[in-house]
A = this chain, B = another copy of it.
Amino acid sequence: MNERIWTAGLVIIGDEILSGRTHDKNIAQIATWLQVQGIRLGEVRVVADDQDRIIDAVNTLRTAYDYLFTTGGIGPTHDDITVDAVAQALGVGVIVHPEARAILERYYADKGGLNEGRLRMARVPDGAQLIPNRMSGAPGIKIGNVFLMAGVPHITAGMLDALTGTLEGGAPLLTETIGSWVAESEVADLLREAEKAHDGCQIGSYPFFREGKVGANFVIRSTSADALASCTDTLCEGLGERGWDFTPGGI
């Protein structure tokens, strides 16, 4: 059975990531969340706060994947240009969303009220819906298959919670991890043969160095629980006492 595979692209908008100042946490957070929804993250692009580069990345990835997420650039300041760039990418105008304005009015009622900067956070591409933000008022934005999220990871986490279960996905990718105190270069043949022998399984090999010793984690991925179990057994047999089963199931 060939199941429909659902995919997503991610555009991280932020000079602060490209300068090395801020360590991105959204890639892993969104990737993990997507897995649970049965959606695979296919590609990430980190681009500068630059209208043309955002437009180019958004238009490429929203057509290449089922869903497109962006993070960053939806705040109140002059460097927050994501809404305008996405609107231009989609060929629509920008409007002040009445519900977003009402949310912000309530949120800022005891914080000095709305001003020009705060009102910017009510602007959305024409035709968009809001994604609730229980952390800090200003909502995320959904238009078509494009989802505009915050740059601050814990705000994005809240927005992802709000979206949980609302996106169509396929069978979640199941994973087994086998840890071992073996250099991956010793078992390259075993890994290749095990993958070849199990249709629909992928094996990734991730070396590590701990306690002065070389080891590797072998991650087996499949949408089929049976294939996954069989491939894991093959690897465990091949590794013998050198391998140990790490995470029984899970992501």
Contact = CB atoms under 8 A, between A and B. Distances in A.
B31 A195 contact: no
A120 interface: yes
A212 interface: no
A4 interface: no
A77 B193 CA distance: 11
Interface stretch (A85-93, A198-206, A234-242): A198-206
Nearest to A23: B28
B21 A78 contact: no
A21 B31 CA distance: 8
A10 B239 CA distance: 35
Contacts of A136: 209, 214
Interface stretch (A111-119, A124-132, A140-148, A162-170): A111-119
Given A16-B219, A24-B28, A188 B48 contact: no
Interface in A144-196: 151-152, 154, 173, 175, 183-189, 191-192, 195
Q: Ordered nearest first, which 5 A-B pairs have the shortest CB separation?
A: A117-B188, A20-B31, A20-B32, A44-B46, A76-B185
Nearest to A78: B192
A19 B189 CA distance: 24
Question: Within the oligomer, what is the number of copies of this chain?
Answer: 2
Contacts of A43: 18, 45-48, 53
Contacts of A32: 19-20
Given A27-B46, A186-B115, A192 B77 contact: yes
A243 interface: no
Nearest to A188: B117
Contacts of A49: 204
A25 B27 CA distance: 11
Interface stretch (A34-42, A94-102, A224-232): A34-42
Interface string A42-78: 1111111100010000000000000000000001111
A185 B115 contact: yes
A111 B185 CA distance: 11
A25 B67 CA distance: 25
Given A188-B117, A205-B79, A19 B35 contact: yes
Contact of A205 (B31, B75, B154): B75
A76 B15 contact: no
